[in-house]
Amino acid sequence: MSYTALARTWRPRNFAEMVGQEHVLRALSNALDNDRVHHAFLFTGTRGVGKTTVARILAKSLNCEKGVTATPCGDCSACREIDQGRFVDLIEVDAASRTKVDDTRELLDNVQYLPTRGRYKVYLIDEVHMLSGHSFNALLKTLEEPPPHVKFLLATTDPHKLPVTVLSRCLQFNLKRLSVPLISGRMQHILEAEKVPFEAPALRLLAQAADGSLRDGLSLLDQLIAFGGGKVDEDAARAMLGSIDRDHVVKIARALAGGEMPAVLDAARKLEEFSPDYAAVMNDLASLLQRVAVLQAVPGTEIEDDFDPAVVAELADALSAEDVQLYYQIAILGRRDLLLAPNPRAGFEMALIRMLAFRPVTPGGPSQTLAAPVASKSGPARAGARLAVQAESKADSRPARKTPPVVESAPAVAPQVARSAAWPEILANLDLTGAARQLAANCALVEHRDNVVALSVDPRHAAMATSAQRERLTQALSKYFGNPVKIDWREDAPAVETPAQARERDQADRVAAARRSLEEDPTVKALQERFGATLHTETVRPTKP
């Protein structure tokens, strides 16, 4: 007796057996119960989420001998024949193998004839996006105004390739990717019915590997049953998928939190004996970091059971938020770059090295870049202690950094030119970004007396001085001077060069110098004299920023 795959054996035969897709099933059920069934449906979504299954159940609901209903009986001849794939009035077409316009015309030649057995003649066209442009043109008129006894059910994984003229003639339903709990729950139900022993962690691993596709998950389950000799356990699942125990990923994360490069590389090299899929390991590491980031952002968040909540909490205390974000970004980019590495192990190790090499810390020396962390429970406190250690180490090697210049109050007679000269330095230390920083760059400091800062804005950029940006600039200046300040916007102030104007002047001077240098270059002059070459000075740019 031949074996039938689980995905085929357990294909849903009515809407109640479907997993997920409630938004689609509800709309179809209401349409069937209220006799408001459209003549053309388009089901979209990734592979293995139930597009063809929903279409077949809909065909069964339309042709059930007990009437049009959202709950077909499953016992009448029409229901049984549709389940067995031999119902004469359900015409299933694989568009990938019948792309020519002649195939489409041949298919549509029989549309005008009444159904042979059922109530409706149903055309189920799978992977409809594979049809040629001429095939779509041949289908359009029939799709828009089919005979009353015909229904079109179209399925595709790539709706963007369909002409808008086809999309506008169909009711479109997008089937979602299934979640890991839904897929693992369906697997558990099937294994209990099949009386196959299993371990829940193994099902979760398979559900994650299925990547939102229940059919892929059941195919992996079939493979694991054969691999495990009739049982489903976690060790066999990890061996088959090339994944490793999450404890190894936790060890790598702890070594990263410790900032110890030897420990990180040692933990990575110990993975070699398990012959892991390094892309899967990188995914696990990114998943762990994502949970750490969520817990840091929202303390008390419930952690999924992929990782021990105590471990996630421990890493959230040991890592700063900046480190977590950097490590996560390098992990997902490192997974992408594994194919470009000399070998997967080398690519994996290089990603870990980058994590520590590019930590958001100003290095005091080669040894401090990968030094052990300062003992602290909170991420921000740990980062502050690390910066304090670096400041001490730099004190002996170079002069202390100058404190930000403080603009003193000007005499009541007139503003001093020295005040405007200090404005670029003040601007460099202001906590500003975006439009507020642009506004500050186009201002000049006229005067600073007591808690009042007088600013003159470049008339060309006066429109930038909105109330919101003025408020942001006021807050930044208050933070810089250490006490609340008020900005006095001067319109009649003497013309003083703003930082933006100084930057433009410097850029113009550098461009002019570059042009002069090129015009006086002996080689350029020789080319002009010998070949009559022309130098387009407007295209000259300085080589240095």
19 with 168, same domain: the answer is yes
The pLDDT score that the predictor gives to residue 363 is 45
- The pTM of the full predicted model, rounded to 2 decimals, is 0.58
The answer to whether residues 212 and 230 touch, using CB atoms and an 8 Å cutoff, is no
66 with 79, same domain: the answer is yes
Please count the structural domains in the chain: 5
Q: Indicate the residue among 131, 151, 174 that finishes a domain.
A: 174
Task: CATH number of the domain at 164, please.
Answer: 3.40.50.300
CA angle 301, 303, 305 (to 5 degrees): 165
The answer to whether residues 417 and 450 touch, using CB atoms and an 8 Å cutoff, is no
- 186/19 Cα distance (integer angstroms): 7
The answer to whether residues 488 and 454 touch, using CB atoms and an 8 Å cutoff, is yes
The pLDDT score that the predictor gives to residue 186 is 93
529 with 491, same domain: the answer is no
The pLDDT score that the predictor gives to residue 332 is 92
Strand locations in 170-269, DSSP E?
171-174
The answer to whether residues 382 and 258 touch, using CB atoms and an 8 Å cutoff, is no
Q: How far is CA 333 from the centre of its chain?
A: 11
- 3-state SS, residue 113: coil
Residue 400 is assigned to a structural domain of this protein? no
Residue 247 is assigned to a structural domain of this protein? no
DSSP assignment of 31-66 equals HHHTT---SEEEEE-STTSSHHHHHHHHHHHHH-TT
Q: What is the pLDDT along the chain (545 residues), one digit of tens a residue?
A: 578 889 899 999 999 999 889 999 999 999 999 989 999 999 999 999 999 999 999 999 999 998 899 999 989 999 999 998 899 999 999 888 877 888 888 888 888 889 988 899 999 999 999 988 888 888 888 888 899 999 999 999 999 999 999 999 999 999 999 988 899 999 999 999 999 999 988 898 898 888 889 999 999 999 999 988 888 988 888 888 876 677 788 889 999 988 888 888 988 888 887 778 888 889 889 989 998 999 888 887 776 666 778 888 889 888 988 899 999 999 999 988 888 889 988 999 999 999 988 887 544 443 344 443 433 334 444 444 443 434 444 444 444 444 444 444 433 333 433 344 478 888 888 888 888 888 888 888 888 888 888 888 888 878 888 888 888 889 888 888 888 888 888 876 557 778 888 888 888 888 888 888 888 888 888 888 877 788 787 777 766 55
Q: Indicate the residue among 225, 241, 257 that finishes a domain.
A: 241
484 with 505, same domain: the answer is no
301 with 170, same domain: the answer is no
The pLDDT score that the predictor gives to residue 410 is 38
Residue type, 38: H
- 339/277 Cα distance (integer angstroms): 12
103 with 30, same domain: the answer is yes
- Cβ neighbours for 535, distance < 8 A, ≥ 6 positions apart: 518, 519, 524, 528
Residue 534 is assigned to a structural domain of this protein? yes
493 with 518, same domain: the answer is no
Residue 529 is assigned to a structural domain of this protein? yes
Residue 468 is assigned to a structural domain of this protein? yes
- 229/235 Cα distance (integer angstroms): 13
72 with 158, same domain: the answer is yes
Residue 55 is assigned to a structural domain of this protein? yes
104 with 192, same domain: the answer is no
The pLDDT score that the predictor gives to residue 333 is 92
Residue 258 is assigned to a structural domain of this protein? no
Q: Print the domain residue range for 138.
A: 6-174
116 with 203, same domain: the answer is no
139, two tokens: 């289908």
152, two tokens: 């079109």
Q: How far is CA 128 from the centre of its chain?
A: 28
- The neighbour count for residue 167, using CB atoms within 10 Å, is 14
Residues in the chain: 545
Task: CATH number of the domain at 302, please.
Answer: 1.20.272.10
The answer to whether residues 361 and 379 touch, using CB atoms and an 8 Å cutoff, is no
Residue 226 is assigned to a structural domain of this protein? yes
226 with 349, same domain: the answer is no
Residue 142, by phi and psi: left (phi above 0), alpha (psi -120 to 50) or beta?
alpha
- 422/480 Cα distance (integer angstroms): 13
Closest-CA residue to 220 (of 244, 192, 198, 240): 240
- 161/95 Cα distance (integer angstroms): 13
204 with 345, same domain: the answer is no
- 21/416 Cα distance (integer angstroms): 72
Task: CATH number of the domain at 189, please.
Answer: 1.10.8.60
Nearest-10 Cα torsion for 381, 386, 391, 394: 180
